[in-house]
Chain A
Amino acid sequence: MKNLLSAADLTRDEALEILDTAARMHNIQTREVKKLPPLRGRTIVNLFFEDSTRTRSSFEIAGKWLSADVINVSAKGSSVSKGESLRDTVLTVAAMGVDALVVRHHASGAVQRIAQWVDCGVVNAGDGTHEHPTQALLDAYTLRGRLGSLDGRHVVIVGDITHSRVARSNVLLLTTLGARVTLVAPPTLMPSGVGTWPCETSWDLDETLSGKSFGDVDAVMMLRVQRERMGGGQSGEARGAGQSNFVPTEREYAVLYGLSPRRLALLGEDVPVLHPGPMNRGLEISSAAADSIEHSVVLDQVQAGVAVRMAVLYRLLAGASEEVAV
């Protein structure tokens, strides 16, 4: 495995191997010396064309804990702002002898394109509204920690599916791991090709959470409402840029699709609530849900992020290069 571009690239065995490796690496977080040697002498460049806090810092920590040299390049303050093309920027960075690029880009498919241009490994850290495979892996890791195996489990993903690379990667990975996924969103935020995805869809959150139509719920994942892409909120700029209105008002969205204290009470006692962050409290998730000690696993997800990214980088970079592999 040289690249990780899509959650669909992973077979069930490969995904389980990454999760098992992550579980072994997780305990380094409690150690005094947070350093493991397998990527000594390897260089990783985090190439971020879109803002990020948790993904970039967790990739950076993961690389450093495995003894790699990690360099961060963001579009702001780089020659991208001087008008350099994506290809030239990527080839320039790759020419410095890096072993892997961790790329986030605002255009769907950009990371796949980059992987065709360079010889080094490429990890997709989020491309537009397309995929975010390491997020899906850390969600699967968190779910496994709470539920044991994912086989036959029912995961409900709620929110802005259309704009969510997290939802797409999660549907692909969770079903690969044997879970059943139901997507819940208003019709306007349900992507057009969703019928071809290996999951159920619903427009009614209360009905789905009740378990009447789709079976008992084992986990709930709330997605961020991507305000920057919605005309209905305070974002007049987006409306000016010709964006359509996806929901009438944020208030209506919160009432119909937010995880309110009332809906939280409907969930079984040990049902975990996930959120990829950053959270819009009061919109898609209430503070009662976000801070619930029994339900919320939001900070577990962040911790899992480092362990899972360590496992991915280990798998991509620690072994022999492809041609001499035995």
Chain B
Amino acid sequence: MSLRAAAGRTEPGAGAVLLSSSDVVRVIDRMSHQIIENLEKTGSAGLANAVLMGIPSRGVPLAKRLATRIEAFCGTAIPVGSLDITLYRDDLRQRGIRPLGETVEPAGGIDGKTVILVDDVLFSGRSTRAALDALSELGRPSAVQLAVMVDRGHRQLPIRADYVGKNVPTARSESVRVNLAETDGEDGVVLVEGTQS
């Protein structure tokens, strides 16, 4: 199977809708407010010292949206980067290679910054572990936080999110798809049967 074919997910099936497109917008707004509140507790430098790092593919547009909303709410522009974790995954050998995403260091780097990792779905926690490894080779942040659109449980590692768009109890046999206008044409979160990558 070609890598390109493997990278494309199956078409969104008729799954249960967890979040509609207007819900997604609202959830992103709420997460933006939570990030502002949480970081301002640590003084005004807290927000100015933060960077958002999206994990490809859907974490990247999500991080950009959070940055846009945070700037709209409090006027602080937060640098956005992306962090590809493919080479750091622990299942590369079992599941085979896949195309690499892009790693872009945010303006000003990450040394001494509060890095907020942004991903679409938090599941086993293995992606987050890989992201922490990848991050440590780019620099030394003063703190790392995690923001996810959906936390679906079933953690296999001691990892938790700091900002969660929606908690969704799921069965292992199910999958959660986060669709974003930038990558999928339309916003929405659906629960579908069958496991996907």
Contacts and interface: CB of A to CB of B under 8 A. Distances in A.
* Chain B interface extent, by class: 20 to 34
B88 A37 contact: yes
B2 A38 contact: no
Contact of B4 (A17, A24, A320): A17
Interface string A28-61: 0001010111100000000000000000000000
B103 A314 contact: no
Contacts of A325: 96
A38 B92 contact: yes
B94 A320 contact: yes
B192 interface: no
Contacts of A320: 93-96
B186 interface: no
A25 interface: yes
A36 B87 CA distance: 7
A320 to B, nearest CB: 5
B102 interface: yes
B171 interface: no
B3 interface: yes
A318 B91 CA distance: 10
B29 interface: no
Contacts of A206: none
Given A38-B92, A326-B95, A21 B87 contact: no
Nearest to B95: A326
Contact of B93 (A24, A315, A319): A319
Interface in A6-23: 13-14, 17, 20-21
A319 B100 contact: no
Contacts of B137: 31, 33, 35-36
A13 B2 contact: yes
A92 interface: no
B112 interface: no
Given A24-B103, A27-B103, A37-B133, A17 B3 contact: yes
Interface residues of A, number: 22
Interface in B1-47: 2-4
Contacts of A35: 137
Given A24-B103, A37-B87, A319 B92 contact: yes
Interface in B144-190: none
Residues of B contacting A: mostly:
helix
Contacts, number: 49
Interface in A277-326: 314-315, 318-320, 324-326
A14 B92 CA distance: 19
Interface string B101-118: 111000000000000000
A30 to B, nearest CB: 10
B84 A24 contact: yes
Contacts of A315: 97
B111 to A, nearest CB: 10
Nearest to B7: A17
B6 to A, nearest CB: 9
Given A13-B2, A17-B4, A37-B87, A24 B102 contact: yes
A24 B87 CA distance: 11
Nearest to A17: B3
B50 to A, nearest CB: 22
A324 B95 CA distance: 9
Contact of A318 (B97, B101, B103): B97
Nearest to B138: A31
Nearest to A325: B96
A13 B99 CA distance: 12
Contacts of B102: 24
A315 B100 CA distance: 11
Given A14-B2, A17-B3, A27-B103, A319 B96 contact: yes
B177 to A, nearest CB: 20
27 contacts: A13-B4, A14-B2, A17-B2, A21-B100, A24-B84, A24-B100, A24-B102, A25-B100, A27-B103, A31-B138, A33-B137, A35-B137, A36-B137, A38-B92, A38-B97, A318-B87, A318-B92, A318-B93, A318-B97, A319-B92, A319-B95, A319-B96, A319-B97, A320-B93, A320-B94, A325-B96, A326-B96
Interface of B: 2-4, 84, 87-88, 92-97, 99-103, 133, 137-138
Given A17-B3, A38-B97, A314-B97, 10 more contacts: A13-B2, A17-B2, A17-B4, A20-B99, A21-B99, A21-B100, A24-B84, A31-B137, A319-B92, A319-B95
Nearest 4 Cβ contacts at the A-B interface = A319-B97, A319-B96, A24-B100, A38-B87
